[in-house]
Amino acid sequence: MQQCRYDVEVHCDINGCYVYNNYYERFLKQVPHLHFEFSSLMRKIHEKNPTTTLRPPSTTTEYEYEPLVFYPWTDGDCTDCIDTDSIFTFDVEIEVGFLKYSKLLNEVATYVGLFLNLLHFFVLTRKELRNNAVFFIMIGICVSDILVFASSISEAFVYEYAYIAEKIGTCASFKQWLYMGVEWYSGGVQKFGRMCSIVLALSMTFIRTVSVMFSMSAVANRLTKLSTAIFIVFIIYLILGIWYAEFFLRAKPHKDVVSFCYFIGLEDEKVAQHELTEGFSILVLTVIYTFLTVILLVALKIAKKRRKRLGSEKQDNTSNLIIGMTLSFLIATLGYSILFIFSKWPYPNDNIPFFRVQLTMMLAHVPKTLLTLNSVTHCFVCLFMSSHYREVALKLFWRRAKAKVNEPTRTKTIVVATGNTSKDSTKSY
């Protein structure tokens, strides 16, 4: 008898589509945004393949939705499965291994990033830096990164429990309700924080580009003021906060009619529409980023030649800092945009979607990891690219630590000197 590796069965309800059983049940729960795409793909398979028949709906089904089961063969021993060996490119071990280690890398980078960004925030909020427009925008980026790291840690803490509650018998408990909500809203905070970081970094690049190209104009002078930076950070946080809050706060926890476990989420169509809007927004921002980066580099080269002609060789540390930040953001957003195009763009070839879905599953954590690593590098970019930031950081940490080390020695010297003075005074009398 032919043995089938997986039985593929798609269930769709208000929480999304789930592919059963064995490997895909666990796998797609780790990649929630693929539920809708995979179910749509399986529906297309049924429409295109005349040998595929739907299982008659069960009259005793325990679900509020109608399960879909696909039969790619009409004869033979294997009648209840799709032969994944023939339609997918990579072995299951490769898929699971890649996803596991990319997720592990993201988690390690998250803890490191949270620690470094707390130190980074401590430096940026010093008076010498926070009164500068560029560094104030970087404070906004740093706060966004801290929100992302903190919510990522909270999501990882409750994630496993949120999906094993039924197995361990804790459904409908307050703890399960709380963990499910934390998992959902933590994802929203991460999306909000990452988008804020991208838009704020783009605004910082735009301000520097305008100030370099039109250094003597009133507009450039206005853009480089602290009040303008405060306004930009406030408006970006307000607009993106309203957009993400409107989406994530629409979801309300509800109990499953069978397991009585709490679930939270929105309909597949709304989730897909939101993800498409977000994905295309980042794609547009990446294109703008690319053009601004090229324009900034050209403008800096022209300005350098002009300074050389005038006999001024003063180093532009602020521009170097912004170039470093821009390039790190550009690499991260390019990775996200490429995967977004690859997974969402329609292809005419019917064999392509299987490869796309499988590769998208494998790379699910890669864009997130790139953005996380990008956030980790911000403090290093500032440290190596900006002499002003470096001076403040050294003054804050290095000299303070050095002063603490020297304090006992200094106290001992004072005591010894005082003792010697007393002896001399006694002798003189």
428: in domain: no
Is 345 part of a structural domain of the chain? yes
pLDDT digits (tens, 9 = 90+) for 33-54: 344 444 444 443 443 344 433 3
Ranked by mean pLDDT, which of 89-93, 134-138, 376-380 comes out on top? 134-138
**Band of residue 366 on the pLDDT scale cut at 50, 70, 90:** confident
What is the token pair recorded at 284?
A: 């547009």
Flag the least confident range among 50-59, 62-71, 173-182, 222-231: 62-71
Residues 176 and 54 in one domain: no
Q: 63 and 112: one domain?
A: no
The pLDDT value recorded for residue 137 is 93
CB contact at 8 A, 323 and 298: no
Q: Is residue 173 part of a domain?
A: yes
Q: Based on the domain organization, do 255 and 325 belong to the same domain? A: yes
Among 61-65, 224-228, 231-235, 312-316, where is mean pLDDT lowest? 61-65
pLDDT attached to residue 117: 93
Q: Tell me, yes or no, whether 100 and 59 share the same domain.
A: no
Q: Are residues 31 and 105 in the same domain?
A: no
Q: What domain range is 55 assigned to?
A: 9-87
* Amino acid 299: pLDDT: 84
Q: Are residues 37 and 122 in the same domain?
A: no
* pLDDT number for residue 351: 53
Read off the pLDDT of each residue in 169-196 and give the average, rounded to a whole number: 83
Same domain for 130 and 192, yes or no, is yes
CATH code, domain carrying 248 = 1.20.1070.10
- Does one domain contain both 363 and 329? yes
Verify that 328 and 376 share a domain, yes or no.
Answer: yes
Closest by Cα among 403, 389, 400, 391 to 121: 389
Residue at 409 is within a domain? no
* Cα-based distances in Å from 146 to 70, 116, 155, 372: 45, 10, 14, 11
pLDDT category of residue 244 using cuts at 50, 70 and 90: very high
Kindly state whether residue 399 falls inside one of the protein's structural domains.
no
In a domain, residue 4? The reply is no
Q: Is 238 part of any domain? A: yes
Q: Tell me if 337 is assigned to some domain.
A: yes
Q: Are 167 and 62 in a shared domain?
A: no
Same domain, yes or no, for 176 and 298? yes
What pLDDT was estimated at residue 139? 94
Mean pLDDT (the chain) is 71
pLDDT per position as a tens digit, 380-391: 888 888 888 888
Is 264 a residue whose pLDDT tops 70? yes
- What pLDDT, on a 0 to 100 scale, did the predictor assign at position 147? 94
Look at the chain and report how many structural domains it folds into: 2
Is there a single domain that holds both residue 53 and residue 165? no
